[in-house]
Amino acid sequence: MNRVNVTCINLHWNKIGYWATLGFAFFIPISTAGVNICIGFVMLAWLLGGDFREKILLFWEHPFAKWIGLWIALSLLGVLYTVADQTAVLGRLRDTSRFIYIPFLMFYLLGPRKMSAVAWAFSIAMIVTLLLAYLKVYGGFPIGIKYTAAAV
């Protein structure tokens, strides 16, 4: 029976997770759908990449991750004791749930080169957004036609 090299598979998933993290940073100012697809790939790669002990230790040892965990725990605890209506509670949970992605992304941002690449991806996306806005306003480029009130 053939044995599959688990380390090789883990490296592939880690590469997929890193590239999905770059895509996530790029799509933040451009596309909500792109962000959702990329975060799905990040979470899938995180789960299938193995090395759970290293990933969990990174989360528990990182000072920023501790504050995120505390924020999420306090938000969930606050939901139990609130007098707010269900709509406000669900809105609060939706806002807090965005912090859950940070530990998944954090694993793929280890090292200054990776963090720099993500910063560059976000910066390039901001420039693309600026160019598209100029094309729309000054060039008549048909972006966001269905939004007539507040869209640029």
Q: Are 18 and 108 in contact (CB under 8 A)?
A: yes
The gap between the terminal CA atoms of the chain, to the nearest Å, is 60
Residue 7 carries which side chain, given as an amino acid letter?
T
The DSSP output letter for 98 is: G
Query: How confident is the prediction along the chain (152 residues), in pLDDT tens digits per residue?
Result: 455 555 555 668 888 888 998 999 898 888 888 888 998 998 888 888 877 788 778 777 877 777 887 888 888 887 777 777 778 888 877 777 777 777 778 778 877 888 888 889 989 999 988 988 888 888 777 776 665 555 54
Q: Write down the pTM of the prediction.
A: 0.69
User: What does 100-144 look like in DSSP terms, one character per residue?
Assistant: GHHHHHHGGG-SHHHHHHHHHHHHHHHHHHHHHHHHHHHH----S
